[in-house]
Amino acid sequence: MINKVVKDAHDAVNDIHDNAILMLGGFGLCGIPENCISALLKTGVKGLTCISNNAGVDDFGIGLLLKTRQVRKMISSYVGENAEFERQLLSGELEVELIPQGTLAERVRAGGAGIPAFFTPAGYGTEVAEGKEIREFEGKKYLMEHWLRADFSLVKAWKGDTSGNLIFKGTARNFNPMMATAGTITIAEVEELVPTGELDPNQIHTPGIFVHRIFKGSGYEKRIEQRTVTRI
């Protein structure tokens, strides 16, 4: 088996170039590639197109890359927690493509499956449909959406092995597994890295064939966007 382990986040992302298209896994602030984002801040790479479910918050996640003006375009479905994102959008500094969440997930999945386009009813009759081909199937209108693919996919898993097999935990499974299949180069950071053969094959969510680099991350904050508590 091929050993795909790299030393750290810096070694994993140091060839990400200006104007690259990135997919960043996670859902909200859950399961995001924190170490890779920190490494990108240090490399200073510019002009990035970031495909992600969300834009992070002002001082965490992709929000950090927005703050340093390293992101040229955001393709996402939810951006409501980021004031800097809003400011850049309204000022015209940031190009934005907002996509219904299910459509975003399916466009990423299609990219990984090699399906160039598909039809969905989501967004028909709204601004989302502007400029897109519309067809009728069995009396219902559908609009055509194209796949999404990336130069680099950055994902974060709970556990992985040296061959790149990955196991995700909980909500982190929402976008990470499909994004792992849709990048020309997929980089995985994991909380626990084990030798090949130690993972139960029945528990693996992403086979190692999709992963090109893997490293053991550290210092995960695992923040919560909105904490709701009940007094007893």
Token output for 104 = 């975003």
pLDDT > 80? residue 224? no
**Which run of H or of E encompasses 88?**
helix 83-91
Report the alpha-carbon distance of residue 2 to residue 57 in Å, rounded.
37
Once rounded to an integer, what is the mean pLDDT over residues 213-223? Answer: 92
User: Is residue 15 within 8 Å of residue 203, measured between CB atoms?
Assistant: no
pLDDT > 80? residue 216? yes
Beta bridge partners of 23: 51, 153
User: Is residue 91 within 8 Å of residue 98, measured between CB atoms?
Assistant: no
Report the alpha-carbon distance of residue 71 to residue 124 in Å, rounded.
29
Report the alpha-carbon distance of residue 133 to residue 24 in Å, rounded.
28
Once rounded to an integer, what is the mean pLDDT over residues 19-48? Answer: 96
Burial 6-29 (b: 16+ CB within 10 A, else e): beebbebbeebeeebbbbbbbbbb
Q: Could you say which of 3.30.70.580, 3.40.1080.10, 3.30.70.20, 2.60.120.200 is the CATH number of the domain covering 9-216?
A: 3.40.1080.10
Q: What is the pLDDT of residue 42?
A: 96
Once rounded to an integer, what is the mean pLDDT over residues 90-103? Answer: 93
Q: What is the pLDDT of residue 80?
A: 75
Report the alpha-carbon distance of residue 179 to residue 22 in Å, rounded.
10
User: Is residue 188 within 8 Å of residue 24, measured between CB atoms?
Assistant: no
The mean predicted confidence, pLDDT, of the chain is 94
Token pair 């000022």 is found at 91
Report the alpha-carbon distance of residue 61 to residue 39 in Å, rounded.
12
Q: What is the pLDDT of residue 79?
A: 79
The model carries a pTM of: 0.93
* Beta strands at 166-167 and 183-194: parallel, antiparallel or unpaired: unpaired
